[in-house]
Structure 1
Amino acid sequence: MSIDPSSIPNFGAQPNPQPSGPAGPVVPDQDLVKQLLDQMELKYVVDDEGDLAAPWEDFRTYFMFRGEGDQQVFSVRTFYDRPHAIDEKGRLLEAVDDWNRRTLWPKVYSHTQDDGTVRLIGEAQMLIGTGVSLEHFVSSTVSWVRASVEFDRWLVEELGLEKDLESSDDEGDDED
């Protein structure tokens, strides 16, 4: 099974072409995801657990397969690296709840680490064990990646984090 390169939606304003491939359902695998990421021109690595990860500057998106047989699940999970203080958790959760109400994916939740910092994780899943159409798999995966990127942009704007980023850049400049 292969994906026609012209079928991969890009991140620009052009319409999304439709993938061509098998007429019936397919059970996606890691090789298919690698092919899709290559065609989307996204860099990726395989971690120690064998999962694919596409790194961005402030987050990492993992493409994971879990379960067996007809219960196998494909999950796209994004770990946002920006730490948030525990005393900001209420405000952060309000923003995340707003995102989750207004969007289909990724569904975002918080994780408080042992050191008290709060980080966010976004996730979308698809049951694939009985097979899915190649078109559905490709369009869903591309949409999930786009939405993961968009969430990070939205959160920065929603919480005014660009000011924090700019001031930390300015502080670093003063030390030089």
Structure 2
Amino acid sequence: MSIDPSSIPNFGGQPEPQPQGPAGPVVPDQDLVKQLLDQMELKHLVDEEGDLVAPWEEFRTYFMFRGEGEQQVFSVRTFYDRPHKIDEKPQLLESIDDWNRRTLWPKVYSHTHDDGTVRLIGEAQMLVGTGVSLEHFVSSTVSWVRAAIEFDRWLVEQLGLAEDVDDTDKPEADGE
């Protein structure tokens, strides 16, 4: 299966053409996601665990398939690398609760490390084992990537963080 390059939505706010592909359901795989990321002009690589990842300066977005057969799940999970202090956690939780109430994805949660730093993780999932339409898969994946970027910008704005987020439109690493 392949994705028509003209069908890939871009990050410039132009209308989104519809994907051309199989009429019936497809079971997506990592190669399809790589093709989609290539056509979106997002740099990516495969990590040591075999997961596909697109790294940005302040976060990393993973594209993972878990489970088997009809129970297979496609997960887009973003790890936000900006560390927060444990005493900032109540404000962080208030902010991410607000985000989670207002948006469909990614759903964001916190993780407190042993050293007391708090980091945030965003996640969206789709059951794909029984097959999904190519159009739905492409539009969902693109929307999830956009939302991961938007969450980082939104959080910087909400918390008044000094980091410049203008450079988060493209991943930083080269290669696959």
TM-score bracket for the superposition, by shorter chain length = over 0.9
Q: Aligned residue for 2:108?
A: 108
Q: Report matched runs for 1:129-148 at 5 Å.
A: 129-148=129-148
- Percent pairwise identity: 87
2:26 aligned partner, one-letter code: V
TM-score after normalising by structure 1:
0.92
CA separation in 1, counterparts of 2:156 and 2:88? 14
Say which one has the larger Rg.
Answer: 1
Structure 2 unaligned residues grouped into runs of 5+: 165-176
CA separation in 1, counterparts of 2:134 and 2:123? 20
CA separation in 2, counterparts of 1:126 and 1:13? 25
Q: Aligned residue for 2:170?
A: none
SS in 2 for 1:158: helix
Q: Report matched runs for 1:4-43 at 5 Å.
A: 4-43=4-43
Q: Report matched runs for 1:47-58 at 5 Å.
A: 47-58=47-58
1:49 aligned partner, one-letter code: E
Q: Aligned residue for 2:118?
A: 118
Q: Aligned residue for 1:73?
A: 73
CA separation in 2, counterparts of 1:6 and 1:28? 19
Structure 1 unaligned residues grouped into runs of 5+: 167-176
TM-score after normalising by structure 2:
0.92
State the superposition RMSD in angstroms. Answer: 0.7
User: Greater helix share, 1 or 2?
Assistant: 1
4+ aligned runs moved over 4 Å, structure 1: none
CA separation in 1, counterparts of 2:90 and 2:14? 39
CA separation in 2, counterparts of 1:52 and 1:100? 25
1:72 aligned partner, one-letter code: Q
SS in 2 for 1:125: strand
Cα offsets for 1:152-175 (capped at 9, x unmatched) = 00000000012xx37xxxxxxxxx
Q: Are 1:154 and 2:171 an aligned pair? A: no
Q: Aligned residue for 1:83?
A: 83
CA separation in 2, counterparts of 1:153 and 1:25? 34
SS in 2 for 1:28: coil
1:137 aligned partner, one-letter code: F
Cα offsets for 1:6-28 (capped at 9, x unmatched) = 00000012100000000000000
SS in 2 for 1:123: strand
SS in 2 for 1:161: coil
1:40 aligned partner, one-letter code: M
